[in-house]
Amino acid sequence: MEWSRFHRHKWDQATTFAWKNFSSAPVRRMFSFVTVLGRAALPEDKLKELTELTQEMKSSYSAAKICRYDPTRRRLDNGDYDYNADNDLDNDIGCIPTLSLEPHLVQLMATSRDPEELRYVWRAWRDAAGRPLRGKYTRFVELSNEAARLNGFEDAGDFWRSDYETDDFEDIIDGLWAELRPLYEQLHAYVRRKLIEKYGDTIVPPRGPIPAHLLGNMWAQTWTHILDLTVPYPGRPSVDVTNTLRRQGYSPFDMFRLSESFFISLGLEPMPSTFWQKSLLIKPTDRDVICHASAWDFCNGIDYRIKQCTQITMEDMITAHHEMGHIQYDLQYRNQPFIFRDGANPAFHEAVGDVLALSAATPSHLQEINLLANVDESFENDINFLFSMALDKIAFLPFGYLVDKWRWEVFSGEISESQYNSRWWDLRVNYQGVSAPLLRDEDDFDPGAKFHIPANVPYVRYFVSFIVQFQFHAELCKAAGHSGPLHRCNIYRSAEAGRLLRNVLSLGKSRPWPEALSVLTSGRTNQLEAGPILEYFEPLMSWLESQNKDEFIGWQENEAIVLGVVSSNASVRPFSAVIAALKSPSRRASLLSSTFGLRVTDFETSPVLWLRSDSSKAVQKDGMCLREPWNVLRNPTDFRAQKPHTEFT
């Protein structure tokens, strides 16, 4: 609040100047930032409300816990867990929820190979973390929009996009995704086949979206934890050095020291001594903390800290590089005027540490620092390495886009409150090709079960960062004199690469980001380009195409085992609105009897069921459409032929 008052005071002063007529471009640029007030433009009572609301959502999320998976939990007659019972999942057997997201659920999602357990955890987390936020979020959206409009923006999404200082930002993102989608679809098709080998085609549909609980991650955002199920050439030295880190007795501090040594090898800054004293690198046992890793610049040129509940894994070693990249950027621009001490755009800030990690994770570097033995550059090892990188960098892309696509549409009013969850699943299916493993409805609030929604952190920066970090990597590799395939490049100890990186980072936000890109590329381009990331993965793309030649590429919604979206809103498009296509007889039985109140025996021969409620009743009972009587149609074309524009819930 105090910061907001100060900010407002500065704003009051700044807006008295006719700054747009000033002759100095940097000063005009400073004014253009100072005169945007953000949420501090709200009247004091609303500002207070918005601040408290955000705090409440964050605390609620970070305190969320679930019960242990208990296979003796109440079952339906057919043996399935009674997931669709009305009772609160955690209270019906009187258990005390003790498992928190980090580390417990993150680990469970990563390591469990029991689809029932995964499905339980997937759902219980959303019940505990997402659902309670739904009511708060609507008010949060109203207030955020009000603040944005007071700053002259159309809505809060428009305000967020202004960070990128371009009018066609959405078009740029759409264009990049269109270039990358074919690679994603190849990866998706290959992974789907491997999951069918593991779980069978009654759980994973051969031509459908992949059920979201089977990808090793709570949000299916990266798939690195199912490398064991999907690795192209098994039996070769693993490029995941987690076990070696543990065997060699690495501590969290050691991992951050390792990361620091990479920065120093490039001639960049070591971490200041306060960093080592004040950072929180191990999860405290005496209190709840938000474990989501973050890096902090206390803006006094001395105090920089990281908060990370570090586990000894390769993933966390990479995250250590990521977070330290933020601090390195902070250090590089610390001599800029205060208002320019920021990333050229938010994506640049996210990219720095990842750029180094692209080198640090190469087998040749891991060998160099004694974490990996005997790497040979055979074709099979190369493909294994690129594949493991793709489970992170390529698998992430659609999620990196859709989180904000959803929020932009919520802020603009295109998604109304009654469509929060169904539209979320529209995007999840259409962009990621993943489906909910059980029915969802509009009492659920699945977006809220992802940190950045309650914490109100914009997300598309990560998508852009994943593109731009490969542009950085390509240019730094060129500066380092690398020749050969881009994925083998390691810039460790290259002073030339370090100098180029410093030149870009030290600009901070003093110039628009296209100029920073121009510095990076020695004037060759000032655009975001998908070329380098595609070049990096080119050998993998060819390999995937040859592996997938008999595979269905892409996904059909109506092939989902459970396409778990139920919307009571009549305007939702028929195909995306709902529907359960139930291939597994036991799943079909449980859903049909417990959820729809239908008799199972009628449908045993039908692989796909299209269920439609009585539209008028469904609309009356917003959010409760599951309790309506359902008509069953043998296939969707019958339905469309009969009533092409009927309301569909």
Size of the site for Zn ion (CB under 5 A): 1
Residue nearest to Zn ion (CB): 350
**Nearer to Zn ion by C-beta: 192 or 349?**
349
Copy the structure tokens of residue 580.
């359960």
Least Å from the CB of residue 319 to Zn ion:
9
* Bind-site residues: 164, 322, 326, 350, 461
| Tokens representing residue 156 in the block | 């809060």
- What is the smallest separation between the CB atom of 223 and Zn ion, expressed in angstroms? 20
x/- track of binding to Zn ion for residues 385-424 (CB under 5 A)? ----------------------------------------
The CB-of-314 to Zn ion minimum distance in angstroms stands at 18
Residue 146 is a catalytic residue: no
Distance, in Å, from the CA atom of 306 to the CA atom of 195, rounded to the nearest integer, reads 36
Binding-site residue positions for Zn(2+): 322, 326, 350
Which of 213, 269, 321, 323 is flagged as catalytic?
Answer: 323
Question: Residue 471 burial by CB count (10 A; 0-12/13-18/19+): exposed, middle or buried?
Answer: buried
> Which parts of 306-365 interact with Zn ion (CB under 5 A)?
350
CB of 350 to Zn ion, least distance (A): 5
What per-residue string of b and e applies to 362-381 under the rule 16 or more CB within 10 Å gives b? Answer: bbebbeeeebbeebeeeeeb
Q: Kindly give the residue spans of alpha helices, DSSP state H, lying in 35-133.
A: 44-63, 106-111, 115-125
Q: Which is nearer to Zn ion, 330 or 350 (CB)?
A: 350
Cα–Cα distance measured from residue 309 to residue 54, given in angstroms and rounded to the nearest whole number? 22
Three-state SS annotation for 447-493? HHHCCCCCCCCCCHHHHHHHHHHHHHHHHHHHHCCCCCCHHHCCCCC
Closest to Zn ion by CB, 240 or 350 = 350
Q: Which is nearer to Zn ion, 350 or 557 (CB)?
A: 350
- Enter the DSSP assignment of 49: H
Catalytic residue among 452, 515, 535, 545: 452
Q: Which of 118, 101, 293 is nearest to 215 (CA)?
A: 118
Q: Binding string to Zn ion for residues 117 to 156, with x set by CB under 5 A, is what?
A: ----------------------------------------
Is 323 tagged catalytic?
A: yes
State in angstroms the smallest separation of the CB of 461 from Zn ion.
8
> 352 or 415, CB closer to Zn ion?
352
Residue among 553, 551, 555 nearest 429 (CA)? 555
- The pair phi, psi for residue 294, each rounded to 5°, is -155, 160
Rounded CA-CA distance 587/465 in Å is: 40
For residue 408, the minimal CB distance to Zn ion (Å) is 21
Nearer to Zn ion, 120 or 451 (CB): 451
Note the residues at the interface with Zn ion (CB under 5 A).
350
Residues tagged active-site: 323, 452
